[in-house]
Chains A and B, each alone.
Chain A
Amino acid sequence: MSRDEIIDVTNTFLIEEFEVESEVIQPEANLKEALDLDSLDYVDLVVIIESNFGIKLESKDFTGVNTFNDLYDLIGSKLHAIA
């Protein structure tokens, strides 16, 4: 899956699941602030990413994930690892 496809798929489910406008999802925007995530919302985020991409995320993977770009990179690296 190309990076553009990852961005498309990710943005689509984020907009749908977290009910945000597409404009708030900017590559360098802060994920937590843009999606208004609280501590339990991250459970949704992880479940959604895992089910949409067929990858498994671990606690340490989220270290340093602050922006949407960081998230796309994380998904990309996980997909690359299982390819």
Chain B
Amino acid sequence: MAEWEGKSRGTVSGYSVFIFLIKRAGIDAAYLLLVFVSLYYFLCSPRQTGAIYRYFRTHRKNSFVRSLVNTYRNYFVFGQTIIDKIAITAGLEHKYTYEFDGIDHIRQLAKDNSAGILISAHVGNFEVSQYFMGEFDKQIHLVTTDEERQAIKSYLASIMAKPKTGFIVVKNDLSHVFEINQVIDQKEIICFTGDRFVDGSKTLTADFLGQPARFPAGPFLISSRLNTPVLFVYVMRERNKHYHLYARKAIFNHRDAQSLLHAFTQSIEQILAKYPLQWFNYYDFWRA
């Protein structure tokens, strides 16, 4: 299946182990456990491992050995971003440092008397951005198709500080349509992930890392039709619990979803060139 299946791996019990460890032994102890958890996923998730291996081997032109090593490192970094998300949500944001590249774009978006659209991707750790953007008045509403995330989110909400990001889950009953519309009416900020789609969604195709790939049409159609500013936003993990937030203004032709998608793919390619390990789509992204 080319498209993502609509649910992420990871369970509430898995999260609870890490939360226990973070609270009792600290973040670094949780990273240590990750050495083994990453190895487990590397060895026992052949489909996901194969997809990430091909990303390194085919699309990043890594050697055979380097691709294997980087696939393991990819799992490890992904685990670190999850631990960081849990730790930050639990109120340990003071353990982290951050810097912001393109903060003026976000400030302008928050100041504008209109809704704003952010498009992100499954690279880095976008969900922690809310904890670094507390100075802005507008709330961010993340549109997600990840149903399983709801169980994990509910669990995190039950034991931790109140989440600051609103989630809008795309559902068959179309309730999300009116939630999105309300955000636009209230001139708040809506965030789409531009790199995943589920079965039955319309897609657009664009060259990405040397091969055509399909992307969800919805975020690009909506963003290109509305008269609202569009930013590409990524929160990338660096060494020593440091995060680097990037905001880039999308340059595209109004009502031209394909030109917006082209700008998006170029933008992700640039960010992945700098952070090649932080590509977190664990399925065959390029299969037609």
Interface residue ranges, A against B (CB under 8 Å): 17, 36, 38-47, 50, 57-59, 62
B184 touches A41 (CB 8 A): no
Q: Give the size range of B's interface with the partner.
A: 20 to 34
* B116 interface hit (Cβ, 8 Å): no
Pick from B171, B218, B219 the residue with the most CB of A within 10 Å: B218
B172 touches A40 (CB 8 A): no
**Can you give 21 A-B contacts (C-beta < 8 A)?**
A17-B225, A38-B200, A38-B217, A39-B170, A39-B176, A40-B201, A40-B216, A40-B219, A40-B222, A41-B221, A42-B174, A42-B177, A43-B218, A44-B222, A45-B177, A46-B178, A47-B226, A57-B181, A58-B178, A59-B174, A59-B177
Bound state CA distance, A45 and B178, in angstroms?
11
Q: Which residues from A are CB-within-8-Å of B217?
A: 38, 40
Q: Which residues from B are CB-within-8-Å of A17?
A: 225
Given A36-B202, A38-B202, A58-B178, check contact A44 B225 (CB 8 Å): yes
Bound state CA distance, A41 and B200, in angstroms?
12
A47 touches B184 (CB 8 A): yes
B202 touches A43 (CB 8 A): no
From residue 217 to 275 of chain B, which have CB atoms closer than 8 A to chain A?
A: 217-219, 221-222, 225-226
- B143's nearest neighbour on chain A, judged by CB, is A40
* B180 interface hit (Cβ, 8 Å): yes
* B175 interface hit (Cβ, 8 Å): yes
Q: Which residues from B are CB-within-8-Å of A39?
A: 170-172, 174, 176-177, 201, 218
From residue 145 to 174 of chain B, which have CB atoms closer than 8 A to chain A?
A: 170-174
Given A36-B202, A38-B201, A38-B202, check contact A44 B221 (CB 8 Å): yes
Q: Which residues from A are CB-within-8-Å of B218?
A: 38-41, 43
Whole-angstrom distance between the Cβ of B226 and the nearest chain A Cβ: 7
Whole-angstrom distance between the Cβ of A21 and the nearest chain B Cβ: 18
B181 touches A40 (CB 8 A): no
Bound state CA distance, A38 and B174, in angstroms?
10
